Amino acid sequence: MFDFIGNTIRNIVNDIEWDVTDRSLRRAEKEFDEWDKEYQERSSRINALDAGSQEARKWIYDNRDLPPSVEKMVDNAGLLAGAGYRKAYAGMRASLAAFRSIMLNDEEGFITWSKDTRIVETSIRFFFGKKRYDNYDDIKDSEVPPLAALTSFDNKYDAWVCNEMLEEAFRRVQGSNPMFKLEVDIAKNVFLIKPVKDID
């Protein structure tokens, strides 16, 4: 689903309408080249982070800060602060890990994570049309709930997921100059990816 981000992004240039001037086309190509350079640098760093390595785990933990809107949701949920934030941080880690693997076509996950967190991560992958990781063979597909079941704080797993969390994880995996924006509605089972430049 997301392979075009790393591999076929230049096809966007081919989709530009015929009435675009040469100058506009050159400007679009220059903008893409600048983004592509940053993306390749970011990808090379992330790609070097094998799912079994300490560096990969560190990258996930370094980027797991909750967006302010998600912190507000946790605060408003009326849960014990520790329990609510633990589930939210686990959900953010699972979201980052899922998008990292999707965008890099990495079919191995963090096998040392709790089974609950790995089930949540797998549910995220299923939502976006990916299969279970090769090394998560202790999890049966039938054990993985639909993502909508994980959007309630009182779900039975050790992680909680929301639209804003997924959208932010998608942005962070792209690096400091994201070219695409993800819009998700888990309840409706839909998502949309748009080029940032098309957003008003």
DSSP code string of 21-56: -HHHHHHHHHHHHHHHHHHHHHHHHHHT--TTSHHH
C-alpha distances (whole Å) from 158 to each of 83, 88, 113, 165, 195 are 9, 9, 11, 16, 33
Q: Please give the backbone phi and psi of residue 184, each rounded to the nearest 5 degrees, phi first.
A: -125, 140
Task: Indicate the range of 32-36, 62-66, 117-121, 133-137 predicted with least confidence.
Answer: 32-36
- Residue with the bigger pLDDT between 11 and 59: it is 59
Task: Indicate the range of 33-37, 54-58, 196-200 predicted with least confidence.
Answer: 196-200
pLDDT at 104: 80
Nearest residue to 2 via CA among 125, 160, 163? 125
Over residues 96-134, the pLDDT tens digits come to: 999 988 888 888 899 999 999 999 999 999 999 999 999
pTM recorded for the entire structure: 0.76
Alpha-carbon gap, residue 166 to 131, rounded angstroms: 18
Amino acid present at 130: K
Please check the confidence at residue 68 and state whether its pLDDT lies above 50.
yes
CA gyration radius, the chain: 18
